[in-house]
Amino acid sequence: MAKKKTFIKPYTQLDIPQLPQEIISEIIKWNAELGNNELYAYSLVSKAWLASARRFLFRSAQFCGTDSFRTWERLFKSSPEISTFIRTVWVTPSSVYNWEDVGLRLLPGVTEIEWLSGISQSATRATESIREFLRRFPNVKRVCVGAQFEDVQHLKAFLGYCGPGIKELLLEDELRFVHTTTPSPDAPLAIDISRFNLADLEYLDIWSRGGSDFDWVYRELIHGRAPNLRSLKVANQGVSLPVLCLLLKEVSPMLTHLNIGPGTLAWKSKGGYTNLRPLPSPDPFPLLPKLRVLTIDTIFLNHGPMEVLNWIASDFLAVFQAPLLTTFEICFFARSPHETIDISECYYWKPLLTAITGKFAFLSELTICFWMEMEFGWKWRAKLEALVQRYVYSPSVLGTRTVRVKWEIDDPDQAPYPEDPTSEGE
């Protein structure tokens, strides 16, 4: 008798339970911040997972030369749906002037433009070519500028080309001007800035490591032009203290969140250095009647963080006025988990907590934010959060107020620290 053959279904035809597409999308969305490596892994699971992962793999596009325009156009032609996934475009100014030679379709899904210098140092001028390029993105809400411009008028025209609906504006350290006081002498005609409109602006971020002077922002961009600004971030020393006070006074009627850097990098007489912003003199900060959240950002854990915390308790709070504040946030930049252990265990938190609770009667939460250079892993996070609750939280001072730990990652694609703290000798 012939042996009976057994037919085995191919692996792809087995009746394997499949997650609903909605759950797959939520899983990928939840983990998308971990970096592209995670997204690449998800895309290999199945066609269903690939379909959801593509929305995040193609959420941003870089245009940094003619070749990049051609590459994206080929992708759009082969898979038209990719053009609907893009939310952020990263552009170098020098790559745009001849973009018409390649062309670019309308991308209505784009909500953010990052105009960054990259390795190019060419100055941006408000040309017709740039205006037509920016019209490819009719729904921009967020603009990040970190490139050189001919002068401030060209910057205003550029912002006008981005559209009237800008809600978030980020000005980075690389933003500089060839001509700082007068328009370019070879400009054939006055620059048209009639489209410049920041009436809808709700968030302004001024980031400087001290290499640029951003005092002009108050006069040229904000004064009388941003009535709806609700959130302001001023980092390090890009704005002088007198102008900072003017800026705060300008936006105080609507401001609900202020993120302020500890300030100027000042050398100490005994050696070493610390990030301490001198206090405004002779006038204090203006009253901020609607402010709900104050963030002190960023305290570098390798640059005398304890002295910065002492400065907050003894000097800064004495001049800061926000009677309805509910959340006080302190953000640290940590290169390793050990730095967060040191600040949690070694600093005597009680005087600072007493000063904060005594100043703000409506305070309900103290937030400790750790900005990680790379992912520490969930085991390290759990250990560090337990240390914060043990050493920072003080029932006798805080009462029913809570202490919350928040995590941010500087580079999610870097290899993480070992996840088991005990492997590090803990």
pLDDT digits (tens, 9 = 90+) for 132-143: 999 999 999 999
Beta strand segments in 326-377, E: 327-334, 365-372
Mean pLDDT of the chain: 83
Residue ranges per domain, the chain? 23-57, 256-426
Given pLDDT bands bounded at 50, 70 and 90, which one contains residue 32?
low
Average pLDDT over residues 385-410: 92
User: What percent of the chain shows pLDDT beyond 90?
Assistant: 44
Residues counted in the chain: 426
CA pair distance 346, 366, nearest whole angstrom: 19
Give the chain's radius of gyration (CA, Å): 26
Find how far residue 332's CA is from the centre of its chain.
Answer: 15
Asked if 180 and 151 touch (Cβ cutoff 8 Å), the reply is yes
Largest CA distance in the chain: 106
pLDDT given at position 426: 44
Asked if 54 and 85 touch (Cβ cutoff 8 Å), the reply is yes
Quick: pLDDT tens for 144-194.
999 999 999 999 999 999 999 999 999 998 898 998 765 555 555 578 899
Beta strand segments in 59-104, E: 60-63, 88-91
List 7's β-bridge partners, or say none: none
| 273 pLDDT more than 90 | no
Looking at per-residue pLDDT, the higher value among 118 and 175 belongs to 175
Find how far residue 198's CA is from the centre of its chain.
Answer: 20
Q: How far is CA 363 from CA 275, 353, 357, 367, in A?
A: 26, 11, 7, 11
Looking at per-residue pLDDT, the higher value among 47 and 104 belongs to 104
pTM summary value: 0.85
pLDDT given at position 264: 45
Looking at per-residue pLDDT, the higher value among 154 and 378 belongs to 154
| 265 pLDDT more than 60 | no
- Write the CB contacts of 382 (distance below 8 Å, at least 6 apart in sequence): none
Closest Cα to residue 134, out of 84, 166, 167, 96? 96
Helix axis angle for 21-31 and 47-57, nearest 10°, is: 40
CA pair distance 195, 346, nearest whole angstrom: 54
Closest Cα to residue 287, out of 258, 249, 317, 257? 249
